[in-house]
Each structure stands twice: as structure tokens, then as C-alpha cells.
Amino acid sequence: MTLSFPLLLAALGATLVQAGTPSKAVIRRGAYLVQVGGCNDCHTPLKMGPKGPEPDMARMLSGHPENLQMPPAPQLPEGPWLITMAATATAFAGPWGVSYAANLTPDKETGLGSWSEAQFLQMIRSGRHLGQGRPVLPPMSVPSLRAATEADQKAIFAYLRSIPAIANRVPAPGDPRVSH
Amino acid sequence: MLSRTGLFSAPGVVDARHLAYAPQYPLWTDGAAKARWIHLPPGTAIDGRDEDGWVFPVGTKVWKEFSFHGRKVETRFLWKTGRRAWVFASYAWNGDQTDAVLVSGEGRSHAALAGPDAWHDIPSRADCRACHGQERVEVLGFSALQLSPDRDPGAIHGEALQPGMITLRDLVARNLLRNARQDLLDRPPRIPADTPATRSALGYLDANCASCHRSDRPIPGLDLDFRHTSRITREADEPGLRTTRLRVARPGAPARLQPGAPDRSLLLHRMSSRRPSSQMPPLGTVLVDQPAVDHLSRWIASLPATPTP
């Protein structure tokens, strides 16, 4: 059978998509999963709008703003209250210390721009930063992400690599406050 | 069961055909006593043309046994089953110390007391791969440098070679290492350093940090390399470790290593922490390696202070 030129191009195009660049359908799937998974809830800072706090989509998924230096977290009294949260919903303090929502945009220096897909998948499997470092800290729900199929995990990564890159260096996590 | 992996020739007796070894720069594992063996299938050999990345023959098996307070706790097992396929497994020793049972892929917490209120955990398979690698698996502790006959007498927690333990010289003599450079035994691997303290400090960093911090598997945004063949080693020969990359990750960031000032060196802060968010190494240890912290503190203090860039 001889393929016509357009068919050949289409076949070649499909191969290229499979080999490297994710297809639009995969990216759309990733966008859907990020939306329903609530990734924006912590990774997109809140700003004050006319009706109260709302996601600042100009900083979509860029994590805790680097220019928002947090003061020491308040110490809660003994009791059932356990966690405090910044007004941006991007910084959290609890028994594990202080954690900051990561920059998920494809910025090479401060986001996922220099991560490989394998590192992203290994982060999910291991629950460790970059798949090999410190534990990914609360409130990030790694088990939920781990429950997704590998195809869906890859789709999430593909989508995150497709969104606008925002340079924003998120602080390193802080140790728990030591009681004296 | 561990006894079904081929480690023993009779109950509790390690098969004499396996090669016992002791790396010159051991990994810190909270003071555990360790025993290690490797099995190479008959007629096979390690391909040593890449001195930093030996290729092991299919069928290679490696065991590492951990004991605390005189009792065997776990044995880790690596088995090369295909050209790029390795099996990872951990076995927990039974109360009678007669055999060990396979631990699930999630690992096992609280396997033994390593110290006061400090529990040794058997690592998960994911954690095994975090250090040994994903696609290209490495047998850590069994390398040209680690088995070099030019052994560092000042190695931190260095173990004396016991009779019968394999060395680089034995591997070559028994034709178990092929394609290595011709002068391997005349010029055996050695960390180049201008002082014994630098040599042992860099050896410690190579064994304890370089499975992650290395230039051929860069951690995004970090640009840190502790492998002995790499930049940090060469720069050790420079007075005061002048290179800015080693000292600071980026302008404005805290110094990773501030020559002359251990108290301002982030490296020591991370080594001295056992809080999950900041400790280094991030896994496999729950106790600070105080002798190593002390050694590296003295070493950093001895380095000539240079102006901050």
C-alpha cells in the first residue's frame, strides 16, 4: 500500500507526537485533572477581590509568592486546632514545620521547567521531593495523586509543562518550632 | 525468604563462593554493623571501561546485612535479572536469627532501635531506587574507588579489610573485572587532595551524598556535585575551595560551604538535622553522624577563608 503525502504526514505527525510532544488531547486531559484535583487551591495564591479571596490567575500555579516573606507561624495552644494557613493559602504551618506550595509552572529556574517526566512520576511514587529528597510535606496529598493512572499522571505533567512559565522562587520548608 | 536468594550454602552459612567486601568509605546508617557480599555468575565479569559506572553481568546478586546491638535486623538484596532490569528486595530477620522474610514494597517502620527513641526503618522499594537509581541502577559501595587498594586510613567509620575480602587487585587477578584501564593497579583510584583531612572529607561526601548530588543526574536548580571524579574534587586542590558554585547556590542564598566558617556552612546544618524537612541525607538515617559532623567542621574551619563573592 502506498500512502498519499497528506496521509504520510499525518502518520509521521502521529509518531512524532507519540515520541516526544504530548498531544493536545493529553494536555486537555491534564488540564481537566488539575482542575478537578484542586491543584489551584494551594498552588495559585489567593488575592482579595470584590467578593473576597479569589485565585490570582495571573500567578496561576506559581506557588507561594517569593515576595511574601512569612513571619514566624503562631503557636497554637494545646487542643484540637493544629494547622495555620497564610491568607494566600500557599503557606502552611503544623507539627511538620512550615511548608510552601511549590511553583508548578515550567519556569526552568524556579518551577518544573528542568524536571523530567520520570522525576515527576518518581516524586509521586516515592512521596519525596524530586523523587529522592525530603518528604513532600502536608497538606499536599500525594496518595491521591498516586491513585491516578500513570497515563493521567503523565497528562498532568504534560499540562503543567504547557502553561505559562512564571519565575517565582518558593522558599524552602521550615523546621517545626522547637518548644522550650 | 532470604534463604531462597542463594545467599547461604547451608542454613545460616554464607556460600563461600560469594565475595565479601568492605567499601573504604562506608555509608552512614546510624551505626549499624554491616556485612556485604556479591555474587557474579561463573564465567562472567564486570565491565570496567567506565570507571565511574561499572556494568555488572546479568545474574549479579548483592546482599547487605544490617545489625544493631549484635542482632541482625535486615538484609537488602539487589539482583540483576536483565540487561537493564534489577530486582530490589529487603528481608527482615526473624526473632531466632535463623532466616529473614521478605518485606513488602512499602518497607517496614520501627524494625529495630538504632538509638534512644530512634527507630531504624526498613526502606521502601521507592527509597531503594532513590539512591540506587531508576533507569541505570548502581551497586553503591562496590566501585573502583571504594575497592581501591590505595585505601584511605583516615576514612570516617572506615572498616578494616577482613581476610578474604575482595579488593580491586583480586578482581583484576581473577579476571572478574575486564576492560579497565591498563594502569588501574599502578595508579589506583584515590581522591586527590592536598591534606588527609580533605581526602577523608571528600570521601565521606562521595559515599553519603553523591548518589543524589552528581552532575550526570542533576537535581533541577541545585547544581551540586559531590562525586570524587567531579568538579568538587578538582577544586579541592585549589586553595580555599574558591569556586562560587560550591559555596553558594545562587547570589543571596546561604553559603553551602563557607571556608573557615563551619557555623555559616549550610552543608553542616543539613548534616546536623534529623528533621524530615531539612535533614541530609533525607532517608536511611535517623541519627546524626556526629563524628562526621565534627570532622567536616574541623575541615571547613581549616580551609583558608576567602572573600564572599
Task: Note whether A99 contacts B134, CB cutoff 8 Å.
Answer: no
Cell numbers describing residue B58: 546479568
Instruction: Record the pTM.
Output: 0.84
Nearest beta carbon to residue B130 from set A96, A97, A128: A128
- How far apart, in whole angstroms, are the C-alpha atoms of residue A141 and residue A94? 15
B134-148 pLDDT per residue, tens: 778 889 999 999 999
Identify the closest residue of chain A to B125 by CA–CA distance: A126
Per mean pLDDT, which range of A51-55, A79-83, A107-111, B241-245 is the poorest? B241-245
For residue B240, the model assigns a pLDDT of 36
Which chain B residues are within 8 Å of A137, Cβ to Cβ?
276-277
Nearest beta carbon to residue B130 from set A96, A99, A131: A131
Task: Note whether A174 contacts B277, CB cutoff 8 Å.
Answer: yes
- The set of long-range contacts for A138-142, using a CB threshold of 8 Å and a minimum separation of 24, is A138/A83, A138/A92, A138/A94, A138/A96, A138/A99, A139/A42, A139/A83, A139/A92, A139/A99, A140/A42, A140/A99
What sign for the dihedral angle of Cα A109, A111, A116, A120? positive
Cell numbers describing residue B82: 536483565
CB of B124 closer than 8 Å to CB of B106: yes
Which chain B residues are within 8 Å of A122, Cβ to Cβ?
126, 129-130, 134
A59 pLDDT above the threshold of 90: yes
Kindly state the DSSP code that residue A150 receives in the 8-state scheme. Answer: H
Count of other CB atoms within 10 angstroms of residue B71: 12
B177 pLDDT above the threshold of 60: yes
> What's the whole-number mean pLDDT along residues B89-94?
96
> Average model confidence (pLDDT) for chain B?
88
Mutation for testing the A interface, residue in B134, B137, B271, B274 having most A CBs under 10 Å? B134
Which chain A residues are within 8 Å of B212, Cβ to Cβ?
132-133
Task: Note whether A128 contacts B277, CB cutoff 8 Å.
Answer: no
Per mean pLDDT, which range of B81-95, B195-209, B218-232 is the poorest? B218-232
Task: Note whether B221 contacts A110, CB cutoff 8 Å.
Answer: yes
Cell numbers describing residue B230: 567531579
B37-55 pLDDT per residue, tens: 999 999 999 999 988 889 9
Identify the closest residue of chain B to A136 by CA–CA distance: B277
Cell numbers describing residue A169: 522562587
Q: Which residues of B3-37 are buried (b: 16+ CB within 10 A; e: fewer)?
A: eebebeeeeeeeeeebbbbbbbbbbbbbebebbbb
Asked if B129 has any chain A CB less than 8 Å from its own CB, the reply is: yes
Asked if A125 has any chain B CB less than 8 Å from its own CB, the reply is: yes
> What's the whole-number mean pLDDT along residues B92-96?
95
Q: What are phi and psi of B51, to 5 degrees?
A: -65, -25
Mutation for testing the B interface, residue in A99, A134, A175 having most B CBs under 10 Å? A134
Which chain B residues are within 8 Å of A146, Cβ to Cβ?
none
With a threshold of 0.85, tell me whether the complex ipTM lies above it: no
The CA-CA-CA angle for residues B106, B112, B117, to 5°, reads: 110
Residue B306: exposure state from Cβ atoms within 10 A (0-12, 13-18, ≥19): middle
Residue pairs between chains A and B whose CB atoms are closer than 8 Å = 66
Kindly state the DSSP code that residue A129 receives in the 8-state scheme. Answer: G
Cell numbers describing residue A147: 491513585
Nearest beta carbon to residue A97 from set B126, B218, B275: B275
Task: Note whether A126 contacts B130, CB cutoff 8 Å.
Answer: yes
For residue A75, the model assigns a pLDDT of 87
> What's the whole-number mean pLDDT along residues A34-57?
96
For residue B251, the model assigns a pLDDT of 66
A134-161 pLDDT per residue, tens: 999 999 999 999 999 999 999 999 999 9
- How far apart, in whole angstroms, are the C-alpha atoms of residue A59 and residue A44? 6
Which residues have CB under 8 Å from B232's CB, separation 6+? B202, B205, B225, B226, B241, B246
- How far apart, in whole angstroms, are the C-alpha atoms of residue B75 and residue B77? 6
Per mean pLDDT, which range of B78-92, B163-177, B217-231 is the poorest? B217-231
For residue B246, the model assigns a pLDDT of 58
Asked if A54 has any chain B CB less than 8 Å from its own CB, the reply is: no
- How far apart, in whole angstroms, are the C-alpha atoms of residue B86 and residue B102? 16
Nearest beta carbon to residue A97 from set B130, B277, B283: B277
Cell numbers describing residue A9: 504526514
Task: Find, among B219, B225, B139, B152, the residue nearest to B188 by Cα.
Answer: B152
A83-104 pLDDT per residue, tens: 999 999 999 999 999 999 999 9
| Ranges B94-103, B194-203, B231-240, most confident | B94-103
Task: Note whether B279 contacts A134, CB cutoff 8 Å.
Answer: yes
Q: How far is B60 from chain A (nearest CA, A)?
A: 25
Task: Note whether B275 contacts A135, CB cutoff 8 Å.
Answer: no
A178 pLDDT above the threshold of 60: no
